[in-house]
Structure 1
Amino acid sequence: MRFISYVAGTEPGVAVKTEAGYRGLPVSRLGGDLQHFVGKDSDLAELAETLGSAPAVTLSDAKLLPPITSPGKILCIGLNYAEHSKESGFEAPTYPAVFARFANSLVAHGDPLVRPNASDWLDYECELAAVIGKGGRHITEGDALDHVAGYSLFNDGSVRDFQIKSQQWTIGKTFDDTGAFGPELVTRDELPDGCDGLGIRTILNGTTMQEANTRDMIFGVAKLVAILSEAMTLSPGDVIVTGTPDGVGALRKPQVWMKPGDTCTVEIDQIGTLTNPVTQETTH
């Protein structure tokens, strides 16, 4: 099952992908947004059945939203590919590097990533996003994938000079409108366990800048769910952004920064494509 969140006029809605295209209903008719339904596989299946006979949603007449519009937690993992850790000058970690993003930073497929006026150092990072379904604490690695509702794509746009100004990375990772998320939530039954073995890449203005495979992650999805839930209760709709491979712009020679007029695409095999233009921050 593949779901999108959208807004038509002023009314938010949820749609499912069918052979005939997307079919959706307003959140007011459904009794909740997509986050409301991710807690149980049976709820998602029932939602898909309800939406399957709903009116068509034409994307030219609707605006996409991030699939989960206001996650309670966005938990990001740094240095989770050995080659990226190496290019960054670090040993491969023995425990995940965890930092937070916030919902203010999210943009949908097709929306602009915004280079802030405070910095020209806006970098790209292709990443797999895992969306928590069934919540819990102290989840075992063996049970962890049962707690994932589905997967999506993420571009962890990073304001690098602010990232390194601080002793930790959060300030450089949560500027407004720098984290692209979407377009679809793809339920786990459509994908390999833990999304293992999928090609992942970033394409900037038609040039492939990053290319790797999710099997190269140091900490896979199941291990991340288990480790994170040791510290905190994971809740339905929480998002785990699982790390980026090597090839980021900051570590290229010469460095490559996203700039206004650019187009950045993140792709993961079997999940889809997430594309965003880049614009400059405007003051109001």
Structure 2
Amino acid sequence: MSVTLRSDRAVLRFSGRDAQKLLNDVVTGHVVAEPGPARWWALLSAQGKIQAEGLVGWDGDAFWLDVHETVADSFLKRMRLYKLRAEVTMEDLRASHRVGWSAEPPQAGIVHADSRAGGIGYRVIDTIENAAGWEADTTPYLAARIAAGVPEQGADFAADSTFAHDIGMDLLGGIDFDKGCYVGQEVVSRMKHRGTARRRPVIVAAPAAEAGMPVLVGEREAGTVGAVADGKAVGIVRLDRIVDPAGVTVAGAPASLVLPAWATYAFGESVANE
């Protein structure tokens, strides 16, 4: 079976007695030191905007994380500030390891199921030498992620531009609502309890679309299109601006919008507290 190289992801390894506590105290997700699927998480600013996001899985007495390469340095810098005197070793493995994806569980590497949206294959981490034969074409992974309606930093949105609710983290296990405080927790909790999430992910079908193009309702922008594969993309849109999902355009041509299978929201929804 083939593994797709995800060259835009950076590998980080957190180990030590206090690694789990540090991660749980800082990021949104539920971090557990036990075998199982990789869990989604985000590091937020105090204003609740996503600064980094990725998956974390446990293997060999350590937590293995991946983040978009553009935020790896800033993520590590912030985590070192939060570390204080905690017994945690943070390793930047960009020089020695790579991240891959496979539709089926591969036989080699550090493998974790990606359980978002009911399952998006498997995340694989291995050494550069072992990853030399991985496929360079990322279309299979991108198509699987788009079909599931799951946005991703770098491809679909930039750092410090997006709330966790905007990308469905509250509905896909990326936020632990039962644990104590973490950075940005107050904003996340307020959006949940007041129902003030304005933007949500949708699947956009627009053959001429390119990443970053606006989704228009008439002449009014309702959102933007993320990375495109086979004429489809994940778009993050204002639900209240889309009364008729068949009436939108992208790149000057009609486009169709479909809610992800996991969505509990609907087109045309208005925010509870404007």
TM-score (norm: length of structure 1): 0.25
What TM-score results when the alignment is normalised by the length of structure 2? 0.25
